Amino acid sequence: MKKIQTAVIGCGGWGPNLLNVFFSNTETKLKWMCDLSAPRLEFLKQTFHDVQATTDHLDVLNDPKVDLVAIATPVDSHYPLAKAALEAGKHVLVEKPMTASVAHAEELIELAAKKGLLLATDHVLCYTNEAQYFHNLLKSGELGELLYWDSVRLNLGAVRNDYNVLWDLAVHDVSLFYHVTGRMPTEVLAVGASHLPGFPESMAQLHMFFADGFVAQTHVSWLSPVKMRHGALVGTKKSAYYNDQEASEKLRIYDRCVTCGSDGKPSYHLGDVLSPFIPPGDALRNEVKQLVEGIRTGKPPIADGYAGLQIVKILAAAERSLRSGSQRVKV
């Protein structure tokens, strides 16, 4: 079967990971790498000898052999590059967040549908084997009625000046939450602070509210001396806790809960803690597998354009909340 011809636009930051996975995958052929930095491309050519390199993205888009374009550039450039790629007849994978505005995300989805092309967002956490187990766990009803989600993503740097910490870090946990639960909030409230002159918010808390009383929150920071990436989803029967920093046993299920008895007093159930065996896997390779299948069959990947749009809606509402003095705003 013909390999999917791929190109990566934006070869700094996350870009080399995309280059590696397209280069080594048996279902894809890495044809182009594009970056504004010629010295960076020269360095990468030492590894990717037979891959064409250019500083002009039009060289990529004008190549009729290219099937899929992956965009790993700053957020403000996602929309114009993705739009140009779709108009050129290319399937598109866009680094998260998909766009900087809801209107632009909606336009890309409409354009992809009109052209019959695949549009996907690189929400790579959603493709981990742990995320799939987590998702299926919820579908089974084992946790009972869901009460709340609480997550933390803290580290020292990298501080950005083009957008704040919500768009940079909270996007990971919000996309994971959306994939695992399939829920969209009706309102959000965001609190944040900028601790470096001339830079956007470097620490923030995002609170999401749902029509049924469920709540979710995430705390993110660029200034923490300690790296933390963990969270919990609490139910009436059991709770699930994940820790992305663990080498193994990233997900644990706690048979513990609090209920009220007939006398109105809290009753505590303390059962076992299960660390389920989850086969190791590479999230980015799982993602590429779904992209290839989607291009060949039309089946949408987990993080398609619609999923990307939902995350942009939440982040855009959070931005409005910050600008309104941390008022609750509708999504």
pLDDT (0 to 100) of residue 56: 98
For 121-180, how does the pLDDT look when each residue is reduced to its tens digit (9 = 90+)? 999 999 999 999 999 999 999 999 999 999 999 999 899 999 999 999 999 999 999 999
Under DSSP, the state recorded for 237 is: S
Domain 126-282+314-330's class? Answer: alpha beta
pLDDT (0 to 100) of residue 263: 86
CA dist., res. 279 & res. 289, Å (int): 17
- The mean per-residue pLDDT over the stretch 260-283 comes to 92
pLDDT (0 to 100) of residue 262: 83
- The mean per-residue pLDDT over the stretch 240-253 comes to 94
Whether 107 shows a pLDDT value over 90: the answer reads yes
CA dist., res. 312 & res. 61, Å (int): 26
254-271: buried (b, 16+ CB within 10 Å) or exposed (e) per residue?
A: beebeeeeeeeeeeeeee
- For residue 156, CA distances in Å to 111, 226, 285 come to 38, 7, 28
CA dist., res. 316 & res. 101, Å (int): 7
* CA pseudo-torsion sign 235, 286, 168, 249: positive
Query: Which of 67-81, 182-196, 251-265 has the lowest average pLDDT?
Result: 251-265
Average pLDDT over the chain, rounded to whole? 96
pLDDT (0 to 100) of residue 317: 98
What kind of fold does domain 4-120 have according to CATH?
A: Rossmann fold (3.40.50)
For 226-239, how does the pLDDT look when each residue is reduced to its tens digit (9 = 90+)? 999 999 999 999 99
- For residue 117, CA distances in Å to 3, 63, 110 come to 17, 17, 10
- The mean per-residue pLDDT over the stretch 251-267 comes to 91
| Cβ-Cβ contacts under 8 Å for 140 (sequence gap 6 or more) | none
Ranges in the chain annotated CATH 3.30.360.10: 126-282+314-330
Ranges in the chain annotated CATH 3.40.50.720: 4-120
